[in-house]
């Protein structure tokens, strides 16, 4: 697996900017009413699977990181994966993947895995 080439980055940007709004339209609550979240869960929405179908040789997590660095998308870890947002739709509380909180979570996970 590898990161994105320049051409793939352009195609991945187009993929995310088209796929996220479409997936957001598919969300419904328990009453069957449509709700419009700001982002989508990368696992439960099928976003990750669709990305891997279109870019089978690209590492999905690396691609998310590269597009996040380029300020195309924002992702926040959550139960079962990550919530993915278009950059302009990210929550106000978003602090980035390089935040102190993210580093603390990485350190805690490393300690758990080492024990």
Cβ(85)–Cβ(73) below 8 Å: yes
pTM of the model as a whole: 0.69
pLDDT of 53 reads: 92
For residue 61, being part of any structural domain is answered with yes
Distance CA 96, CA 77 (A): 11
Domain of 16 in residue numbering reads as: 6-114
For residue 38, being part of any structural domain is answered with yes
Cβ(94)–Cβ(76) below 8 Å: yes
Distance CA 17, CA 105 (A): 28
- What's the pLDDT tens digit per position in 45-81? 889 999 999 988 888 888 888 899 889 999 888 888 8
The count of structural domains within the chain is 1
């Amino acid at each position: 697996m590898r990161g994105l080439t320049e051409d793939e980055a352009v195609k991945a940007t187009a993929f995310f900017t088209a796929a996220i709004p479409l997936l957001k339209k598919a969300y419904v609550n328990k009453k069957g009413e449509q709700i419009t979240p700001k982002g989508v869960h990368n696992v439960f929405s099928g976003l990750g699977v669709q990305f891997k179908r279109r870019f089978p040789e690209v590492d999905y997590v690396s691609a998310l990181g590269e597009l996040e660095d380029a300020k195309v998308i924002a992702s926040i870890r959550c139960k079962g994966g990550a919530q993915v947002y278009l950059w302009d739709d990210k929550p106000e509380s978003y602090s980035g993947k390089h935040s102190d909180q993210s580093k603390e979570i990485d350190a805690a996970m490393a300690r758990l895995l080492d024990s």
